[in-house]
Amino acid sequence: MCWSFDQWQVVLSHVGTFRALEVMYTYSPSSSGSFWERVWQSLGNAKALRNRLKLVKTLVRNALERVGEGVTLLSLGSGSGRALLEVLAEAKPSNVRRVVFVDLSRDALEAGKELAKQLGVDSAYQLDWYRNSVQDLTRFAHLSPTIIEMVGLLDYFPAKEAVCLLSNLYQILAPSGIFIVGNVRWNEEALFVERAVGWHLIYREPEEIFQLLREAGFPAEGIRIYYEPMQIHGVAYCVKGIGNCAPPDRV
């Protein structure tokens, strides 16, 4: 997936959207670009986003190995769905029945469909794309998804709204289901990201993420939070049912 004009301008023009994330996910140090693009891509936050993508893929693969057959995955605030689509392309899991992508952006969903074709998974799995708000999940409740992935969205929800959303997800998650969710933490570049780039996020420490998940209903022993090497992005792996396999000790 490539863009026709300077990628630094894409980030500035599409702050907080899948387009900005795709620029950072697909960046290569050997690629040409403007001075400001090279500066941005060398920052810890840009590197951490690429690390987060790798971490999410690792956790999704782990979750797929722990659940049974007939798996339904639900990706909320999916953007292009890159993490799940790359797992399907690379791991080729045989136990996946259906993957549902949900995003408010029509452009993001169309980009996801294009990426699925590029990766060769559009005909190998049942992929469904819905333009829908995560604050109204009634149309997805019947799915009883085995795995729910929501990375890059909790960062925009204040605590009270976050608990409400997470509680709703806990209710629709299958009894033996696994929930994968991320949140950024405060870091030394946060002021630059907010003031120079205009990317406003809600930063949370691991204790705060843990508390939100506990208030939503997830058992304490079923929650494990992992950080990528830059220690900026945390991703929680949450097992719903007490007595199910505990989250992995390390990834």
Q: Is residue 251 part of a domain?
A: no
Q: What is the pLDDT of residue 18?
A: 77
Confidence label for 104 from pLDDT (cuts 50, 70 and 90): very high
18 inside domain: no
For residues 154 and 41, the model is more confident at 154
> Which pLDDT score, from 0 to 100, does residue 133 have?
95
Domain that holds residue 53: 47-239
Residue 217 included in any domain: yes
In this predicted structure, the answer to whether residue 106 has a pLDDT above a threshold of 50 is yes
- Mean residue pLDDT of the chain comes to 90
Mean pLDDT of the 161-185 span:
97
CA distance 214 to 46: 30
CB 248 within 8 A of CB 62: yes
* Residue 159 counted as domain residue: yes
Domain with 153 in it: what CATH number?
3.40.50.150
Q: Give the integer Cα–Cα distance in Å for 185 and 195.
A: 17
Look at residue 23 and tell me if it is in a domain: no
CA nearest to 81, candidates 47, 142, 136, 125: 125
Per-residue pLDDT of 55-80, as tens digits, reads 999 999 999 999 999 999 999 999 99
In the chain, the number of structural domains is 1
Across the range 23-46, mean pLDDT stands at: 69
Tens of pLDDT along 216-248?
999 999 999 999 999 999 999 999 976 656 788
Q: What pLDDT sits at residue 1?
A: 43
- What percent of the chain has pLDDT above 70? 87
Q: Is residue 14 part of a domain?
A: no
Find the range with the poorest average confidence among 104-108, 128-132, 189-193, 233-237.
189-193
The predicted model scores a pTM of 0.90
Residue 155 has pLDDT above 90, yes or no: yes
Separation CA 228–CA 235 (nearest Å): 8
User: Would you say residue 21 lies in a domain?
Assistant: no
More confident residue, 251 or 132: 132
Q: Is residue 175, in this structure, part of any structural domain at all?
A: yes
> Which pLDDT does position 86 carry in this prediction?
98
For 195-201, what is the mean pLDDT?
86
pLDDT at res. 5: 44
Kindly tell me if the per-residue pLDDT of 15 is higher than 80. no
In which element (H, E) is residue 117 found?
helix 106-119
pLDDT of residue 32: 56
Predicted confidence band at 2 (pLDDT cuts at 50, 70, 90)? very low
21-58 b/e (C-beta count within 10 Å ≥ 16 → b): bbbbbebeeeeebeeebeebbebbbbbbbbbbbebbbb
Q: In the chain, where do the E strands start and end?
A: 71-76, 96-103, 126-131, 147-150, 178-184, 223-227, 233-239
